[in-house]
């Protein structure tokens, strides 16, 4: 947990509408998830409780990121229901902040959602994936040929293409993100 005030990063970030407008790669997938996502009554009760915290958030992301095409619209919708404003920063343009939130201490994995309390201090951090999505990609990668195999690059591109298609069309996967985020924010 960072004891550094993050309000300046929030102020620097763009709105969801501006981020979406800037997209060139995964806009269709992001829009599909955003438009088709539904919430349960339990979700709505959780969002009502969460809205009492007066939080806001900073998101480190990038248009090319398949995980972002899943997580950004799910969490954007969750925060809309919770009266939490998110601001979006492009990872490679904000490495000073990104390097404070490395996955496993080494990877600039995105998206990263930094939830800030009403004073601008970090309250919770979530990302880049739900445990279930991480398990899916770990299992899929295990089936790839060796990195030096002649067909590795082709098989890897196919894996990521299929993965992106699945995560942007399967509501059961969207639900894993909702539940993972709720668990993180509950504390």
| Token couple for 26 | 């995964």
- 128 lies in some domain: yes
- 81 lies in some domain: yes
Give residue 44's domain range: 6-185
Alpha-carbon span 127 to 98, nearest angstrom: 12
Tens-place pLDDT, residues 85-139? 999 999 999 999 999 999 988 999 999 999 999 999 999 999 999 999 999 999 9
- 96 lies in some domain: yes
pLDDT value of position 80: 98
- 22 lies in some domain: yes
- 1 lies in some domain: no
- 18 lies in some domain: yes
Tens-place pLDDT, residues 40-75? 999 999 999 999 999 999 999 999 999 999 999 999
The CATH number linked to 80 is 3.40.30.10
Alpha-carbon span 16 to 61, nearest angstrom: 11
Number of domains in the chain: 1
Reference 30, options 67, 60, 56; nearest CA is 67
Comparing 171 with 4, which gets the higher pLDDT? Answer: 171
- 168 lies in some domain: yes
- 138 lies in some domain: yes
**What is the DSSP secondary-structure string of 53-71?**
G--EEEEEE-TT-HHHHHH
Please give the model's pTM, rounded to 2 decimal places: 0.94
């Amino acid at each position: 947990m960072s004891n550094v005030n993050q309000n300046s990063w929030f102020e620097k970030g763009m709105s969801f509408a501006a981020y979406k407008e800037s997209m060139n790669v995964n806009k269709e997938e992001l829009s599909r998830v955003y438009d088709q996502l539904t919430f349960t009554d339990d979700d709505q009760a959780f969002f009502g409780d969460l809205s009492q915290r007066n939080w806001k958030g900073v998101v480190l992301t990038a248009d090319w990121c398949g995980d972002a095409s899943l997580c950004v619209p799910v969490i954007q919708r969750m925060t809309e229901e919770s009266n939490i404003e998110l601001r979006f920063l492009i990872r490679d343009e904000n490495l000073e902040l990104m390097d404070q939130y490395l996955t496993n201490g080494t990877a600039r994995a995105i998206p990263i959602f930094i939830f800030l309390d009403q004073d601008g201090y970090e309250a919770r951090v979530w990302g880049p994936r739900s445990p279930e999505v991480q398990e899916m990609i770990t299992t899929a990668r295990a089936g790839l040929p060796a990195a030096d195999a002649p067909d590795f690059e082709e098989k890897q591109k196919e894996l990521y293409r299929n993965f992106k298609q699945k995560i942007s069309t399967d509501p059961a996967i969207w639900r894993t993100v909702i539940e993972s985020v709720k668990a993180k924010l509950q504390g």
